[in-house]
Amino acid sequence: MRELVYFVHTSLDGHIEGPDGEFDWPSMGPELSGHSQELAGRADTFVYGRRVWEMMSSFWPEAEKQSDHPHVLDFAPIWRRTPKVVFSRTLEKADWNTEVLGGDIIDRMTELKRRPGKDLLLTGGTELATAFADRGLVDEFHVVVHPVVLGGGKQVFPGGVRTDLRLLGTRTFDGRAVLLTYRAG
């Protein structure tokens, strides 16, 4: 069965965005960018909720026109060619090799995990990640803690989730961010 890997950036105080929705604080140095690409290489499908999908699809299709940052230049072609799944109750269709799934998200994710293929990579999407983690559908958590305190905003697991995790390892990226890797169960 395919595994669902959750990759998320968080502030030291546990937020994935600032009080006004800002996501301008993660620092993507070469080591963290490399890890992002390693995770993308393990997966054959990127998974998003609608809000994260809208943010990603507004930037990555023509990212090289907006930034010459090395991470952007390396990841943009990966993003464009990788199949994507968006869970949404309101979105009917999406471009860029993207399948939109509605209905019961737990049933749909269970079906996705049963399909043949490589891992599924969920990035961002805290409500989606919380629902999946609460039902034991997230197999691995890659939580990158950045050296910033946002003082509010959306939490990593809004509403909370309780699950036992086993620490697989820690790693420091670019002398700034720390990766915590956990396995469910």
- Encode pLDDT of 26-50 as tens digits: 989 999 999 999 999 999 999 999 9
Pinpoint the alpha helices (H) of 18-120: 30-42, 50-59, 70-81, 105-114
Structural domain count, the chain:
1
In angstroms, the CA 71 to CA 62 distance is 14
Beta partners for 179?
144, 171
pTM score, whole prediction: 0.94
With contact defined as beta carbons under 8 Å apart, do 140 and 182 qualify?
yes
Mean pLDDT of 151-161: 87
With contact defined as beta carbons under 8 Å apart, do 19 and 153 qualify?
yes
The domain in which residue 58 lies consists of 4-184
Backbone region of residue 139 per phi and psi (left: phi > 0; alpha: psi in -120 to 50; beta: other values)? alpha
Query: Looking at residue 53, which CATH number applies to its domain?
Result: 3.40.430.10
- Encode pLDDT of 93-130 as tens digits: 999 999 999 999 999 999 999 999 999 999 978 899 99
